[in-house]
Chains A and B, each alone.
Chain A
Amino acid sequence: MGVSSGGGAPGRTTMSEINVTPMVDVMLVLLIIFMVTAPLIQQGVKVNLPDAKAQPVEATDKKLVLTVDASQRVYIGEAEVKLEELEEKLKTNAKAQADKELYLHADRTLPYGVIVEVMAAAQRAGVNNVGMITDPAGSPKVSKPKKKDP
């Protein structure tokens, strides 16, 4: 990035590249997000999934599923973990570290901030691929009414 164009006199050089540093800072770098369709993954914790029209990825093998329910409780698989412990739990988790991937199974009513917090914890733990589990898109537009979790 520090390569300047040409060897002109000081003060006369122009910066000919785009400085990407601020952009890198802003984004959750390298966090790859994709959509996973829900029916393939059976979970014990009940959440209302968002619908999405994005092209879904077929969940082939069993990845770790991170669930956040409507009351913002976080689960790895079926076991509840505290949000502040999530990073360490994922950092030491041999499966997550081998796959570098997990599926996020979060309730549609959750605030954006909570999801970002969970995804940031995953990213700090080195799990850079996060699959967002959604209800299959492309199903009839008139979706049946969903019952809300208490």
Chain B
Amino acid sequence: MRAAMLVVLLPFAALAQAPVLEISGANFRPLPLAYAAPATQDDGAKAHARELDEALQFDFSACGLFQLLDRKSFLADAKEGVTASSINFTNWTNVGAEVLVKVQLASDGDQLKGDLRLFSVNAGREELKVSESAPSKDTRRLAHKLANAVYKYFTKETGPFETHLAWTKKTAQGKDVYLSDWDGRNPVPVSVGGINTLPSIGPAGQVGFTSFKKGKPDLWLWRGGNAETLVSSGRMATGIAFSPDGKRIAYSLADGESAQIYVANADASAPRQLTNTPFFINTSPAWSPDGKRLAFVSNRGGTPQVYLMSADGGDAKRLTFQGNYNQTPDWSPRGDLIAFTARDERNAFDLFTVNVDSGKITRLTQDQGNNEEPSFSPNGRLLVFTSTRNGPSQLFVMTFDGNNQTALPVEKGTYSTPAWGK
């Protein structure tokens, strides 16, 4: 299908045998990974062990590479050592593990230090040892750093665990926008009070969003704690999207009868109208990773569909031809796929991807409530989205091909419009 995605996992490069695991595609099999509860060396570390442990378990289980084995099945002595010579690997083989991860945690003043060791269970050998540290109050970040090291070991790519999400949470009166870790934790308020929605994270970590603070929708920009208006015109401005280089923004401006796509400089200067279809709606722009094209939604053909056009304007080309209600496109940083929400024949919203070159559509979700608003991770392997499968709309992640759908461990609430910082 696409060569870039078929990157091969390189388990234990030291082994002479050829790599056997593919990270995606029909032959993909998540690697069975046993992760033992972290060992602590002092009381200071003990106080943070649980938080680190939770974050690491979520990282391993949600990233789609691993089958995280149930600790209840473990046969090894809880006090088993952390070096290859002190580990009885038979006990790990017997729970189905191919990879064993052990973590030691120590505190040093207000710093936490984590040593992670990764073992090939079949070879009975240590394959990776990493040491990371972080302030004690950032225990989760220490976990994410360690998980990234493991992710990189297997994929040769930077893992998603230190990236950020922006999302909207419903309040009694409106909606608030937050910026959080990749797992939805450590939320930082970006804009609270009134109705704030459709956030987007720029390459420098800035957050753009749509707010009704001044009565009608305007575009706002949040940077390091301060939010100010960016686009406030006579018309309704919605759906800001930063170009991958951060130099331009795309958004839509609507009046009573139509909505058109605009591209402007990052400071909103020199806006240019790219679509010109009076009486039709053009909205939800999403940049291609090279910054040369935009995907957007238009109803010019009668129903909302995903279209592509050059970021300099010019003719738009229709991309989706199935379904009669396709919206919220997001372009994979790998370039080949666009994920979008579609209303299917049973009036349920579900997620699909469309191949940019071939137009081939792949279904990702089915029969699990409404699933909407996909956004790709920076490495293109994961998607964050919302789902109503368990009641109110919740944040979920899954792999780009629809596997391993996992709810984010966030507080109860109604969430919408997640966006992954790329």
The residues of A with any CB-CB pair to B shorter than 8 Å are 62, 64, 76-79, 81, 88-90, 92-98
Contact = CB atoms under 8 A, between A and B. Distances in A.
A94 B69 contact: yes
Interface in B30-77: 32, 67, 69-70, 72-73, 75-76
A81 B72 CA distance: 12
B94 interface: yes
Contact of B94 (A76, A92, A97, A98): A76
Contacts of B70: 92, 94
A89 B88 contact: no
Given A88-B72, A92-B73, A95-B96, A78 B67 contact: no
Contacts of A88: 72
B76 A93 contact: no
Interface residues of B, number: 16
Interface in B71-102: 72-73, 75-76, 88, 90-91, 93-97
A93 B88 contact: no
B75 A77 contact: yes
A79 B91 contact: yes
A92 B75 contact: no
A25 B102 CA distance: 45
Given A94-B95, A94-B96, A77 B73 contact: no
Which 3 residue pairs across A and B have the least CB separation, nearest first? Answer: A94-B96, A95-B96, A79-B75
Most buried by B among A81, A88, A90, A95: A95
Contacts of A81: 75
A93 B96 CA distance: 7
A89 B97 CA distance: 14
Interface in B234-249: none
Nearest to B76: A79
A94 B67 contact: yes
B32 to A, nearest CB: 6
Contacts of B76: 79
A88 to B, nearest CB: 6
Nearest to A97: B96
Given A76-B75, A79-B75, A93 B95 contact: yes
Contacts of A95: 93-96
Contacts of A89: 72-73, 75
26 contacts: A76-B94, A77-B91, A77-B93, A78-B75, A78-B90, A78-B91, A79-B76, A79-B91, A79-B94, A89-B72, A89-B73, A89-B75, A92-B70, A92-B72, A93-B94, A93-B95, A94-B32, A94-B67, A94-B95, A94-B96, A94-B97, A95-B93, A95-B94, A95-B95, A96-B96, A97-B96
